[in-house]
Structure 1
Amino acid sequence: MKRPLIDPALLVILAGVCAALHVGKLPPALPALRDALGVTLLQAGFLLSMVQLAGMTLGLAVGLTADSFGLRRSMLLGLGTLAVASAVGGWARSANDLLLLRALEGFGLLLAALPAPTLIRQLVPMARLSAMLGLWGAYMPLGSALGLLCGPLVLAWVGWQGWWWGLAALTAAMAVWLARGVPPNSARHGPTVRAPTPVSPWPRRLHQTLTARGPWLVALSFAMYSSQWLAVIGFLPSIYLQAGIGGAAVGLLTALAAAVNIIGNVGSGRLLQRGLRPQTLLYAGFVTMTMGALMAFALAESQPLLRYAGVLLFSMVGGMIPGTLFSLAVRLAPGDDTISTTVGWMQQWSAAGQFAGPPLVAWVAGAVGGWQWTWAVTGACSAIGGLLALQMARALRTKGETEP
């Protein structure tokens, strides 16, 4: 059998990064959209949150669909949906047009992302699984950071429509590459490939997922992480603009704060592979997020460099949490045919956390007249996350697994 040019599991991760580019493509384009289509600040907020709305309402349903429809086929459909929505978006004539297409992109993102952990599990040997799932956990921050960094350059060259069309072409090419590089189940061979588990009817899978402890624990933990991460990273531009830092520098600082999250994601996979317990990584991530937020918003208020170091620490070490939770989702799912459903439930709660976290932080900042108590909100989320980590360790023991 001819050896593929690239590891199929790595190709799955690249497809996820390509899908996540559509999340990061919007923020740099907002000034151009305001000038070209008259997008208001309120409409811009809805454009930014529309992808999360799709995840918050459809995560579980798309996870169920992916298990039944086929993992590879679901990813291809998701990439195709993103490509079509982005291509049509280049011809949008109003903010309402973009809102509808943004909702379609959110649906495409879910179809492309939710089957990936199960597909990776089928494509790699158990010895590499934790490392590859840790790498998968970085798909969203990497795609978003690439969008934030590359967007301004492409927008200055070809405008917002060219940016939309360029990403449509890139995503379509990624779909073709995935179709050629990841064979269907029937064409897979070799010791690294697991035979897919027969899929039971969706009502049974839904009942199994929602009545088991494991899916709830990983889902709520992801909500505790995502709510505080987006609240801090999302408000960085506002915080630094208020501090008198220039607009170009703000974009670079925010992109870097998002990008260092990748280090924690990748590192978590390596550490799990070397035998560190998931509970330990979750504790370290949640405690460090609290300390980083405390340093950024309370202890170093008059020292901008130290404050930014706190933000970097918050994002980088906190990045160990999603990588660890993706690994735990595979292990705590009720069965092999419910992994995508479990990841969908986790995605749904992650989106709910991202939807609720920023308004809560903004409400506290408005009530106290500044950002100095942001750490208290993030600390409360981390405390709950720590308790959930303890419960997940017990759930692994109940399931008869040892913590590696």
Structure 2
Amino acid sequence: MTAQQSPADGAGPQPMTHGVRAALFLVLVGICAALHIWKLPPALPQLQAQFQLSLVQSGFLLSVVQMGGMALGLPIGLVAERIGLRRCILIGLATLATASALGAWLDSAATVLFCRAIEGCGFLMVAMPVPSLIRRLIPAENLSRVMGLWGCYMPLGTVIILLSGSWVLSLGDWRLLWLLLAALTLACLLLTLSIVPPDPARGDQPHPAALTLVTTTLRSQNVWLVALTFGAYASQWIAVIGFLPTIYMAAGITGTTAGLLTAIVAGVNAIGNLAAGRLLHRGARAWHLLVLGLGTMILCAYAAFGAQLPATAQFLAVLMFSMVGGLVPATLFVLGLTLAPNPQTTSTTIGWMQQCSALGQFVGPPLVAWVVNRAGGDWQWTWVATSALAAAGIGLAIQIGRRTRTGVKP
């Protein structure tokens, strides 16, 4: 699998050490943004008690942060191309910090819900441009390995917030956590200004028409296959990880223990991401990794929730669900960059991937909650919903394999 575009994409050559340093810092920026997405699960019991939320309402509170991504992934991709990738990230960090602070200050169920939706927009403005910006900063031969590291930003952010969030919540309430994250995000914004090189001057270079970029992106079957696979993966992963603290609480495991167990499950996802980057660099077929990751998620979801195994075996199954499933996101990010129809559509391709991922993450938690409610509150039927999503992803991955093997054009 080879990249179709030059890593510079019109920018002047960056010094190797400075480019790598900036690319690694961008992974940290992504982790900071992910903290906002995953600050809710450890605080969910407090919010449920304070605002009297039902299980399904809690599912929507988990997923409402994805509303901005569902509606604005592709538009933000267009905006990033116009205003510059670095500038888009800075605006996103400012949006995250402001929405998090307002959510804590205004302190009502409606405002928390609204600010979570705004945080989703800010998160997208941070996460969407980073792959394209990393591609600009580093040589093409190192792309798959660095994108494997980038694929870890969500699980690493998850494990950090689940561990530290539980500790912060033991010192105060959810408002304290929201305010601390706002301050951290503001610090990341200031560091981005000094570490990440400015966007290259475009001069008199004409911009491709927005409609042309959109139609070129959305007419590509490869883009659709990659984006929908991302949605199928993300919906089940966020549903399982997001509800784990609640599941543990129902089993009598509370406080820091529940946070620690959930953090371990989320954190091992990074192992799969790193492995995918190395395997792709060594020539592994992308669609093989996708089928392996999604197929393992089906087996492990059944073992964890449906097979009525002992508690230790269930925990190990959830660990494997997350770890081997981690092969999927890093592989899809590399596919998104290499299968984009042309260099100008890289940002819109990643934007459409993020949009479909956000749709999956919005649908996943309420779908699982609905299945559990229909089963009388029994979490053992969780695997039915997640496995259906994984099976759809496998079908899409097989199509990706067929098209890449036969050299079908986008």
Q: Does 1:269 align with 2:277?
A: yes
Aligned to 2:103: 89
Count of aligned pairs? 390
Query: Of 39, 43, 52, which aligns to 2:51?
Result: 39
Aligned to 1:70: 84
Report deviation, 1:8: 0.9
Amino acid at match of 2:339: L
Report deviation, 1:359: 3.2
CA contact (8 A) 1:198 1:337 kept: no
Report deviation, 1:10: 0.7
CA contact (8 A) 1:68 1:202 kept: no
Aligned to 1:237: 245
CA contact (8 A) 2:59 2:366 kept: no
Question: Structure 1 375/99 Cα, relative in aligned 2: closer, same or farther at 3 Å?
Answer: closer
Task: State the percentage of identical aligned residues.
Answer: 51
CA contact (8 A) 2:227 2:354 kept: yes
Report deviation, 1:79: 0.7
Equivalent residue of 1:67, what SS?
Answer: helix
CA contact (8 A) 1:213 1:395 kept: no
CA contact (8 A) 1:28 1:148 kept: yes
Aligned to 1:105: 119
Question: Structure 1 296/159 Cα, relative in aligned 2: closer, same or farther at 3 Å?
Answer: closer
TM-score normalised according to structure 1 size: 0.88
Report deviation, 1:366: 4.0
Aligned to 2:264: 256
Aligned to 1:119: 133
Query: Of 329, 354, 358, which aligns to 1:347?
Result: 354
* Residues in 2 aligned to 1:129 and 1:6: alpha-carbon distance in whole angstroms: 11
Query: Of 205, 224, 229, which aligns to 2:232?
Result: 224
Aligned to 1:190: none
Query: Of 169, 174, 178, which aligns to 1:155?
Result: 169
Amino acid at match of 1:310: A
CA contact (8 A) 1:24 1:146 kept: no
Report deviation, 1:99: 2.5
* Residues in 1 aligned to 2:212 and 2:319: alpha-carbon distance in whole angstroms: 43
- Output aligned runs, 1:327-346, within 5 Å: 327-346=334-353
Aligned to 1:364: 371
Aligned to 1:191: none
* Residues in 2 aligned to 1:239 and 1:164: alpha-carbon distance in whole angstroms: 23
Q: Does 1:304 align with 2:311?
A: yes
CA contact (8 A) 2:41 2:242 kept: no
Q: Unaligned regions of 5+ residues in structure 2, if any?
A: 1-14
Report deviation, 1:13: 1.1
* Residues in 2 aligned to 1:31 and 1:242: alpha-carbon distance in whole angstroms: 11
Aligned to 2:74: 60
Question: Structure 1 49/228 Cα, relative in aligned 2: closer, same or farther at 3 Å?
Answer: closer
Aligned to 1:15: 29
Equivalent residue of 1:245, what SS?
Answer: coil
Query: Of 167, 176, 191, which aligns to 2:190?
Result: 176
